Amino acid sequence: MKRDVAIVGAGYVGLPLAKTFAEAGKTVVLVDVDAERVAQLNRGESYIEDVSSEALERLVEEGRVAATTDYDELRDADAILIALPTPLSRQREPDLAIMLSATEEIAKRLRPGHLVVLESTTYPGTTREKLLPLLERGSGLTAGQDFHLAFSPERVDPGNSQWSTKSVTKVVGGVNETSTEAASALYSAAIDNVHPVSSPEAAELTKLLENIFRSVNIALVNELAQLCDRMDIDVWEVVEAAATKPFGFMSFKPGPGLGGHCIPIDPFYLTWKAREYGFYTEFIELAGKVNESMPYFCRSLVSQALNHARQRSLSGSRILVLGVAYKPDISDMRESPAVKLIGLLEGAGASVSYHDPYVPEFSENGIVMRSVALEPAEYDCVVVVTDHSSVDYDRLVEEAQLVVDLRNATGANGKHSDKVWRL
Ligand SMILES: NC(=O)c1ccc[n+]([C@@H]2O[C@H](COP(=O)([O-])OP(=O)(O)OC[C@H]3O[C@@H](n4cnc5c(N)ncnc54)[C@H](O)[C@@H]3O)[C@@H](O)[C@H]2O)c1
């Protein structure tokens, strides 16, 4: 069946992208290996919070969105967008295996006139050095001549209701001018603003710069939080005050560590690539080190709070972790620092439970847990790890014996009180 756009990978990136194109009047097919997901999509059921089932159902009924496990459906689409996972290996090196094997499948179905765009986050050079030869070899066609090839980073922020795939500017870089033009024309039909750059490498590095910028600035404020603890200064008060400056300052908040699919992972794609040039990306490494130390620092904080406020040791204490998703008001657990902190608290002999209105259960890094009722009085200490907005923090402070607030969710005054210890 003829379609305007095929999207390979129907996840956090692929599904909102499909909705955006479909709402702009395009016909879209999502190609995914997960047969259960495909069946769900074809029933109009969304598993991504940013796409409501109501909206998806309408688009499926109108024939504007369909899903399939069959790569052959790529043949009849005008454009093929790749939104597949690009994780790190256990040795923290780029793992492009999923994307490359999918590219081989795409190559077999490539025909003259096709536009292929990679959306997955990756190191500069991936599109030209990895995708291009695979596509050319598998199809016998020439990139930039017989088919168009470009990179365009996805910038979706799951759970952000202010900015959507449609309203966030799309950066596009093709392997030659006609590829950039073809990709820009496609995105312009559905996305408010398109920003072309001179090459796929520039577009690939743009995405990494954005995520490295966040990682480094979060690390800066996390380091400051550790210093503030020693100096007995309220880091939240300082950040809030600095944010009153109308220029030259951008507010980043401290916390128990980095989470999510992008910021803890993507910077290391560049670190890896830089080594090929004998270059060491020290800002990235240092930021990683500081951010990865935060769960350990937070464990000490919980221990200190129990000692001072309750004359108890961490070992043997009952602790409730409040919020385990990696950020507020979503269910995404990927790389959540809560998992690390729970492991550390349990390792120190505490008995840990968690409550999260968005995450009924999880199984991560060998930790399998189920959310319990929010009964703060039952625990020696409640640790606020993720500040979901549906939680009544006044009630929490009233009922809990002790709260360690790693997100400034309680809005408590002063750094420590008998009841509330803040990061
Ligand atoms: N999640 C985000 O917020 C975000 C934001 C910007 C960029 N990105 C980047 O976008 C890319 C995709 O991330 P995501 O979060 O959408 O991933 P995801 O895990 O949510 O979705 C990936 C989908 O691909 C499917 N899949 C796996 N192998 C496949 C194959 N061989 N063929 C077809 N489908 C296959 C999976 O079943 C899944 O549905 C990554 O590179 C990521 O770094 C993610």
Q: If you measure from the C-alpha of residue 11 to the centroid of ligand 1, how many angstroms do you get, rounded to a whole number?
A: 5
User: How distant is the alpha carbon of residue 419 from its chain centre?
Assistant: 33
Cα–Cα nearest to 383, from 312, 276, 305, 279: 305
Among candidate residues 228, 262, 298, 381, the one labeled active-site is 262
Pocket of ligand 1 (CB under 6 A): 8-14, 31-34, 37, 83-86, 98, 101-102, 119-121, 154, 156, 158, 261-262
| Helix, coil or strand: residue 8 | strand
Closest ligand 1 atom number to CA of residue 153: 7
Closest ligand 1 atom number to CA of residue 120: 41
pLDDT score recorded for residue 216: 97
Top mutation candidate among 17, 33, 152 for ligand 1, by most atoms within 8 Å of CB? 33
Q: From atom 41 of ligand 1, which residue's Cα is the shortest distance away?
A: 120
- Digit-coded pLDDT (tens) for 26-80: 999 999 999 999 999 999 999 998 899 999 999 999 999 999 999 999 999 999 9
Q: If you measure from the C-alpha of residue 203 to the centroid of ligand 1, how many angstroms do you get, rounded to a whole number?
A: 18
Q: From atom 25 of ligand 1, which residue's Cα is the shortest distance away?
A: 9
Q: From atom 29 of ligand 1, which residue's Cα is the shortest distance away?
A: 33
Q: If you measure from the C-alpha of residue 8 to the centroid of ligand 1, how many angstroms do you get, rounded to a whole number?
A: 9
The C-alpha atoms of residue 220 and residue 250 are separated, in whole angstroms, by 12
262 in active site:
yes
| Torsion angle in degrees (nearest 10) through CA of 124, 125, 128, 131 | -90
Closest ligand 1 atom number to CA of residue 86: 41
Residue 415 has pLDDT above 80, yes or no: no
- Digit-coded pLDDT (tens) for 378-388: 999 999 999 99
Closest ligand 1 atom number to CA of residue 13: 16
What integer is the mean pLDDT of 112-116?
98
pLDDT score recorded for residue 68: 98
Amino acid letter at 2?
K
- Digit-coded pLDDT (tens) for 221-278: 999 999 999 999 999 999 999 999 999 999 999 999 998 888 888 999 999 999 999 9
pLDDT category at 212 given cuts 50, 70, 90 is very high
Q: Helices then strands (H, E): number in the chain?
A: 12, 15
The C-alpha atoms of residue 43 and residue 366 are separated, in whole angstroms, by 33
Q: How far from 408 is each of 236, 277, 414, CA to CA, in Å?
A: 7, 42, 11
Q: If you measure from the C-alpha of residue 85 to the centroid of ligand 1, how many angstroms do you get, rounded to a whole number?
A: 4
Residue 178 has pLDDT above 80, yes or no: yes
Q: If you measure from the C-alpha of residue 124 to the centroid of ligand 1, how many angstroms do you get, rounded to a whole number?
A: 19
Q: If you measure from the C-alpha of residue 230 to the centroid of ligand 1, how many angstroms do you get, rounded to a whole number?
A: 41
Cα–Cα nearest to 341, from 372, 369, 360: 369
* Weakest mean pLDDT among 157-166, 192-201, 268-277, 328-337: 157-166
Q: From atom 37 of ligand 1, which residue's Cα is the shortest distance away?
A: 34
Q: How far from 407 is each of 236, 257, 291, 374, 422, CA to CA, in Å?
A: 9, 11, 15, 18, 8
Q: From atom 43 of ligand 1, which residue's Cα is the shortest distance away?
A: 121
Question: Please, what sign has the CA dihedral across residues 317, 414, 287, 358?
Answer: positive
pLDDT category at 414 given cuts 50, 70, 90 is confident
pLDDT score recorded for residue 264: 87
Task: Label residue 315 exposed, middle or buried (CB < 10 Å: 0-12, 13-18, 19+).
Answer: exposed
Residue 417 has pLDDT above 90, yes or no: no
Percentage, residues of the chain above pLDDT 70: 100
pLDDT score recorded for residue 279: 97
Closest ligand 1 atom number to CA of residue 266: 43
Question: Do 306 and 380 meet the contact criterion of CB atoms below 8 Å apart?
Answer: yes
The C-alpha atoms of residue 363 and residue 117 are separated, in whole angstroms, by 34
- Digit-coded pLDDT (tens) for 185-195: 999 999 999 99
Question: Do 285 and 334 meet the contact criterion of CB atoms below 8 Å apart?
Answer: no
Q: How far from 39 is each of 36, 72, 347, CA to CA, in Å?
A: 5, 17, 41
Parallel/antiparallel/unpaired status of strands 3-8 and 28-31 = parallel
What integer is the mean pLDDT of 154-183?
94
Cα–Cα nearest to 320, from 381, 397, 362: 381
Q: From atom 11 of ligand 1, which residue's Cα is the shortest distance away?
A: 120
The C-alpha atoms of residue 246 and residue 249 are separated, in whole angstroms, by 7
Closest ligand 1 atom number to CA of residue 10: 39
Residue 170 has pLDDT above 80, yes or no: yes
pLDDT score recorded for residue 185: 98
What integer is the mean pLDDT of 336-359?
97
Question: Do 291 and 222 meet the contact criterion of CB atoms below 8 Å apart?
Answer: yes
Closest ligand 1 atom number to CA of residue 34: 37
| Helix, coil or strand: residue 43 | coil
Residue 189: both structure tokens together: 């039909």
Q: If you measure from the C-alpha of residue 69 to the centroid of ligand 1, how many angstroms do you get, rounded to a whole number?
A: 15
Residue 412 has pLDDT above 80, yes or no: no
What is the overall mean pLDDT for the chain? 96
Q: If you measure from the C-alpha of residue 138 to the centroid of ligand 1, how many angstroms do you get, rounded to a whole number?
A: 23
Q: From atom 38 of ligand 1, which residue's Cα is the shortest distance away?
A: 11
Top mutation candidate among 15, 20, 32 for ligand 1, by most atoms within 8 Å of CB? 32
Q: Which helix (H) or strand (E) holds 225?
A: helix 200-231
Q: From atom 10 of ligand 1, which residue's Cα is the shortest distance away?
A: 120
Q: In what order do the strands lie in the sheet with 170-174?
A: 65-68, 28-31, 3-8, 77-82, 115-118, 148-151, 170-174, 194-196
